[in-house]
A and B are shown apart, each in its own frame.
Chain A
Amino acid sequence: MSNGGGSYNAQNDSRAGSTGEPDMGTEPTGGFFSADYKKHDDLKQMLDSNKDNLKLEAMKRIVGMVAKGKDASDLFAAVVKNVVSKNIEVKKLVYVYLVRYAEEQQDLALLSIATFQRALKDPNQLIRASALRVLSSIRVPVIVPIMMLALKDSVVDMSPYVRKTAAHAIPKLYSLDPEQKDQLIQVIEKLLADKTTLVVGSAVMAFEELCPDRVDLIHKNYRKLCNLLVDVEEWGQVVIINMLTRYARTQFLDPNQQDVVADDDKNFYGDEDEKDSEEEEEDEEKEKTPPKKPYMMDPDHRLLLRNTKPLLQSRNAAVVMAVAQLYHHIAPKSEVGLVAKALVRLLRSHREIQHVVLSNVATLTTIRKGMFEPYLKSFFVRPSDPIHVRTLKLEILTNLATETSISTILREFQTYVTSSDKDFVAATIQAIGRCASSISEVTETCLNGLVGLLSNRNEYVVAESVVVIKKLLQMQPDSHSEIIQHMAKLADTITVPMARASILWMVGEYSDRVPKIAPDLLRKMAKNFINEEDIVKLQILNLAAKLCITNPKQTKLLCQYVLNLAKYDQNYDIRDRARFIRQLVSPAGEKGALGKHAKKIFLASKPAPVLDSSFKDRDQWQLGSLSHMINQRASGYSPLPDFPATAPDPTVRNVEVPMPWAEKTHKKKAGKPKKEAFYSDEEEESESESDSEESSSSSSESGSESESEDDSKSESGSDKEEKKSDEEAESSSSSSSESESSSESDSDSDSESEPDTKPQKKTPPPKSKSSAKPKKEAKQEVSLLDLEDIDMSSTSAPVPTPASALDVLSPSLASDLQGLSINDKKDTAISVTTPMFVSTTSHELLHRMTGEGLAANYRFTRGTCIYSTSMVPVELTFTNHTDSPVSNIRIGEKKLQAGMTLQEFPEIPTLPGGGSMSVSIGIDFKDTIQPANFQICTQDRKYNVSIKPPVGELLQAVTMSEADFTAQQSKLTGMNENSGKASIPSQHNNSKTITSRISELANVAPVFSSQDGLYRFAGKTVSGGTLLLVTVKVGEDNSASITVNCEKMAICSMLVKEVKQKLSQA
């Protein structure tokens, strides 16, 4: 530490000594020319010496100058010589210097090029990388061809680090010579196909800078990018997510479109038919889509959403924000809510992050109010917040205000009003005004509060209140003449012009309500007219004109007087206004044509101002972008495209059988053409070397990948064991981990890869759609240029992959395919949602008398079971009523019905006397209401207990659109339908009670219904996943007909019975 400090001081000393004048601080060049030369002379001497430590010392001082922004360019010649230095430290500092000054001394810089070219062949990857980095950074146009060559070499380098550096070099080269774009795009295409997580982030970054509109390059890599995303370094994640957001906007259909259509009106069914006919052409090509579905989320769309979700847990705020904007822009409405929690978490972070996040949240709250409502209190202002954070929080609180939360918010605002920060108080008052105008129930309260503020000692507060009250009164002026009177009196004392103007306007507008005060006010104002601010003068003129029309007897003369004063005002606006008003109100000659309409002109009823959020218009920008932040278009911003009306061909994302990143096949087959292209023989060897290294490193990677794929399956028991073994294998010896994971993935990929590739080969690209066609053509052109790719696919694609060839499929591919397979099976339009209602009452499992002091209760939590998706989560609470601890509480023998499974909780070692503890278990009831019998064991006792599930708890709430609901319902008729009648007590015959009662009874979610008196709910059975639909139709005479549709008839009939009971409850 002191070494660095020493030399730093030494530099200053020597300067001060040699120049004989004080340090100039930040000046770029300090001192005289001669002195400069003198000073640099000693540095030159040091650089010329053959001692490394002298050179190093000199370089350090030079870097110090560069760092301070001082000019060191005249040392260029002396420094550049040292680029050949053997000392790696000197070399590094020379690089730093070169990058800074090469642009200015291009000729001299050329001297160093040979060194870099040599270094590019160095066996050490870091030297190769840094050589490429410096070479591409020195911005000398002459060497563009050399750079291009070096770049092309590095792209196929065995080291991912070098390839990453190459990706970084692409935009540099492009900015130096834009004519190279076509060649560079080819390089990018190669890099995008790279499968190492280190490289893809940078490759996408280069893609974004060079050719963000070349969507066709992404198609083939889309699924890979999605699957690798979690493992990419954080900065790469941000870039990839942003790019994929745009990609999704061009390639997938709007997931919320359905809702819009459903909201539209009743001719919705007609729409559906139309769409069907449109899709029929498509259906011929891909039989996958059931023809009845009006909208079905593309599995790739789902893949993206699913793979980005874990990133909300990232420690990097930028990543979280990127995911949030992705969800905001492309996810179905019902799923966007989950980003709220993560965004709120970011508010704990640094001030600057808070600021950016809050401004994005502010925009979100204008569109999606409900999303942040549960986190209302997180937006409460703290005195330590900087002013910009405070105002943003106010904005959000105001946006979030609803009937239910308004009282809390107003109470908070009351505290803020007493703050010592004037600007903040003013903002608070405005916020109160906005709340009052948007929520009619509290308008009165707010108005009273604001009137209370009128007697505040702080004039600023009073003025702000006046302005806000004015706006509020404008909306409902009828009943508030006393407030207007009160404010008219204030005109004597208030000096803030805006407030004065507001008062005058109001008195003029509602002069009929204060007939006595208005003329008097005008009199007072007229006296002081010349001393007023312009804005006040204009309002005095207005008031005069209005009064003159309504009450000419008293005010005609006053009005003349004011107009005369205004005639000679310095401000031409005021003079103009006066002239205009004079013509209207008291024309000199006979009554003018306009004079007749004066009343209409001045006293027309004016629409009340809409107090809107200032963030409303920010919606046009992509969330989280710089343009959104500054609310103007930043250079280089490209707006998000709208979703296409018809989906472009999804098959473009299918990949030929030997995926480019399935490394072994790729290396062997693709290696050859590349060699021919630009490799000398020496490199061939290094290439083969790289193969072995690559495969070993990638196989260790595979461990983690296969693991992730396991988890996504989540099939409980057996799966978990596999996972563990995977993990151990991965950690112990990286190369041997292939065995299990790959064998497992083989079988999967076998079944999946076939259907994937077939449509690609057999069917021609669809011709029906206009948007897809040109893209397809463009793609083919590219591949014609890129002969190797065609070569590769033509040689390898038709190979009927026999069992032996399967060994080469990398696990990453397998996981890739598996991710898809899950998707294909899943009915994407129907998604599981959070339960509407979670019961807090618990049922007794073990009474404390029977349990000898140990009591147990159980409760259905209605969440998703952490053990398995087919299990019903149950929370057990153990309470120890004795004084002595109970130890080793666990589940003993299970006597379950065939097929049922029970996941036990980890043993509780001890439960202290009087203590209680909750654990969760999962039970797969196999969709029956058979009780689960098991034993609870303590150290020395066993108790038989049983859990009998109510039928409603065997369900899981799902959301779907109304159209889906009716479509599914039509499939489930006859035996699968069960109905009954009930009469609802009239005091409960409202939507709220019915909805809440049904969701209390069963874990179902309400489905939007366009018909009055018709309530729909959807759920699915937890274990079997069969759909269950509940319809309640309420008639005129409080009678309700209940229909339940479900394949499980037992559940069906029981549920009908229970719903009947529940609804007819008084």
Chain B
Amino acid sequence: MIHSLFMINSAGDIFMEKHWKSVISRSVCDYFFEEQQKANSPEDVNPVISTPHHYLIHIYRENIYFVAVCTTEVPPLFVIEFLHRVVDTFTDYFGDGGETAIKDNYVIVYELLEEMLDNGFPLATESNILKELIKPPNILRTVVNTVTGSSNLADTLPTGQLSNVPWRRAGVKYTNNEAYFDVIEEIDAIIDKQGSTVFADIQGVIDCCVKLSGMPDLTLSFMNPRILDDVSFHPCVRFKRWESERVLSFVPPDGNFRLISYHVGSQNMVAIPVYVKPNISFREGGGRFDVTVGPKQTMGKLVESVVITCAMPKVVLNMNLTPTQGTYTFDPVAKVLTWDVGKINPQKLPNLRGNISLQSGSPPPESNPAISVQFKIQQMAVSGLKVNRLDMYGEKYKPFKGVKYLTKAGNFQVRT
């Protein structure tokens, strides 16, 4: 399974290593560096690299390469999924999984890695269990620790591993019992030049923040569960109940977690909430740029946080534009145009127009760049999914419940 782990930052420094079996020299990373040099961008490095004696499987997140070293046959997804889980845990513990956070908390990081893998095989990966074994840092505790000299290790040893609900710790107590559910849907779409939809798809997740005392057993039902086409569950969800009754029945983990992620059947028509009217043309030495954004099928809701980005061709030197609304920036190094539009006012459509200047002497690009769009619509789930009710069994108190809907752009791309 996983033999060793190296963390490499963007500068190419191996700033942390951990070995679960015998020590492997860090020179093994040279193979990785070799591959890295061949790639144009950090994302382009092949995640699985075969070397004469080892197999390097890595992920790239938070500008860090997490390189796992394996010596024998292992399902690559097993390693990749685990590495992502490690970074998720760091993010959960430190707020972000970046290099500074890891360096600042190296002792906790090391202890976490020690608990998560034993002899290369995952041991405890549930955040609820880990948090009992190793307390996450917070400001108050840090102050207390500096005074008393204790560290973040748990004083009492947990019993959670024995509970029949391995994802939930025992003895949870809150004064305010609350459960919040965020239904977040993302629209993935490819829109072609003429404005017609090449491909559109809705992917959704339900993220929960559950702070309930004891061992609550929750049942969440939907008004229209049939629109959920393909669902993947947190291990806590009882699959059989879903199969037979289409309700989500579960004993939740404590705190934040992702309950389900789902896919809405492609036979349903996807309502595209915004349209983009691009008009980009190049000629010798320059070109015109004119983009208008407008609302389409928004069901009366306001489209917010609209951001338009466009990776211009390499020959573009600069852009001189005037927005009717919001601000725009052009990064002359990465050649990326970003236009932060904000809210769309249907009466006065936002527009960005102006001139493009190209490098002199080089031929104008043949193809126009694709535009990607970000937006958010509050209080609407574009698929029409509606939570019907949430029931709680097993505990006496009355929890406070809340559901929030949000639609945003996922991979929303307009070809021009």
Q: Which residues of A contact B (CB under 8 A)?
A: 1-5, 8, 25-26, 52-53, 56-57, 60, 63-64, 66-69, 88-89, 92-93, 96, 100, 103, 124-127, 133, 136-137, 139, 159-161, 164-165, 168-169, 171-172, 175, 198, 202, 205, 230, 233-235, 238, 242, 310, 313-318, 320-322, 341-342, 344-345, 348, 350-353, 355-357, 377-378, 380, 382-384, 386-388, 412, 415, 418-420, 457-458, 624-627, 629-630, 632, 634-638, 697, 700-701, 704, 707-708, 710-712, 714, 720, 727-728, 730-732, 734, 866, 918, 920
Contacts and interface: CB of A to CB of B under 8 A. Distances in A.
B47 A4 contact: no
Contact of B244 (A318, A352, A412, A711): A711
Interface in B33-68: 39-41, 43-44, 46-48, 50, 55, 58-61
A728 B73 contact: no
B105 interface: yes
B220 interface: no
A701 B164 contact: yes
A8 B192 CA distance: 53
A632 B49 CA distance: 12
Given A384-B411, A626-B48, A626-B76, A52 B149 contact: yes
Residue with the greatest number of chain A CB neighbours at <10 A, chosen from B47, B50, B75, B123: B75
A314 B23 CA distance: 34
A124 B258 CA distance: 33
Nearest to B49: A630
B89 to A, nearest CB: 14
Interface string B132-158: 000001110010011011110101011
Contacts of A160: 161-162
Contacts of B377: none
Contacts of A728: 393
B353 interface: no
- Of the candidates B16, B138, B162, B365, the one having the most CB atoms from chain A within 10 angstroms of its own CB is B162
Interface string B64-88: 0000001111111110111010000
A356 B75 CA distance: 10
Given A315-B261, A731-B215, A69 B14 contact: yes
B262 to A, nearest CB: 9
A5 B82 CA distance: 27
Contacts, number: 299
B145 A3 contact: yes
B415 interface: yes
Nearest to B251: A731
User: Which of B50, B107, B149, B246 has the most CB atoms of chain A within a 10 A radius of its CB?
Assistant: B107
Given A26-B14, A634-B55, A3 B146 contact: yes
A378 B48 CA distance: 23
Contact of A708 (B13, B44, B76, B240): B240
Contacts of B162: 125, 159-161, 697
A4 B230 contact: no
Contact of A384 (B150, B245, B372): B372
Contact of A126 (B13, B151, B158): B158
Nearest to B225: A866
B218 to A, nearest CB: 10
Contacts of B146: 3
A321 B411 contact: no
Contacts of B411: 382, 384
B397 interface: no
B203 A348 contact: yes
A100 B23 contact: yes
Given A711-B243, A727-B217, A625 B75 contact: yes
B216 to A, nearest CB: 8
Contact of A238 (B55, B75, B240, B266): B75
A386 B36 CA distance: 13
A418 B415 CA distance: 11
A704 to B, nearest CB: 7
B121 A168 contact: yes
A626 B2 CA distance: 13
Interface string B8-20: 0000011111110
Contacts of B50: 630, 632, 634
A69 B24 CA distance: 11
24 contacts: A2-B142, A60-B107, A67-B109, A89-B153, A100-B23, A139-B22, A171-B119, A205-B1, A230-B239, A235-B82, A313-B233, A318-B78, A350-B61, A356-B76, A377-B266, A383-B372, A383-B413, A387-B39, A420-B314, A626-B74, A627-B73, A700-B164, A711-B244, A727-B217
* Shortest 5 CB-CB contacts between residues of A and residues of B: A53-B149, A636-B72, A418-B367, A711-B240, A731-B394
Contacts of B47: 351-352, 355-356
B175 to A, nearest CB: 22
B239 A313 contact: yes
A318 B121 contact: no
Interface in B349-368: 363, 365-367
B201 to A, nearest CB: 7
Given A350-B84, A377-B199, A626-B74, A415 B415 contact: yes
Given A52-B149, A56-B149, A92-B111, A1 B137 contact: yes
Contact of A382 (B80, B226, B241, B413): B413
Interface string B110-131: 1100100011011101000000
A126 B18 CA distance: 22
B48 A356 contact: yes
A1 B142 contact: yes
Contacts of A355: 46-48
Contacts of A318: 75, 77-78, 80-82
Contacts of A100: 19, 23
Contacts of B239: 230, 310, 313
Interface residues of B, number: 119
Contact of A314 (B41, B60, B166, B233): B233
Contacts of A415: 192, 415
Contacts of A380: 190, 198-199
Nearest to A129: B161
Chain A binding surface, main DSSP class:
helix
A415 B369 CA distance: 11
Contacts of B366: 418, 457-458
Contact of B151 (A56, A103, A161): A56
By CB atoms of chain B within 10 A, which of A322, A384, A629, A920 has the most?
A: A629
B173 interface: no
B311 interface: yes
A342 B226 CA distance: 17
Given A386-B41, A386-B44, A731-B394, A137 B119 contact: yes
A528 to B, nearest CB: 27
Nearest to A167: B121
A636 B149 contact: no
A624 B73 contact: no
B234 interface: yes
Contacts of B201: 377-378
B118 A133 contact: yes
A17 to B, nearest CB: 20
Contact of A124 (B48, B149, B157): B157
A63 B110 contact: yes
A30 to B, nearest CB: 14
B370 interface: yes
A168 B119 contact: yes
B103 interface: yes
Contacts of B58: 352
Nearest to B70: A626
Contacts of B94: 1
A309 to B, nearest CB: 10
Contacts of B78: 235, 238, 318
Given A67-B109, A415-B192, 20 more contacts: A1-B105, A2-B104, A26-B26, A63-B107, A68-B17, A69-B14, A88-B157, A96-B114, A103-B22, A198-B161, A198-B166, A205-B121, A342-B232, A348-B188, A626-B76, A632-B50, A636-B72, A701-B164, A720-B244, A731-B393
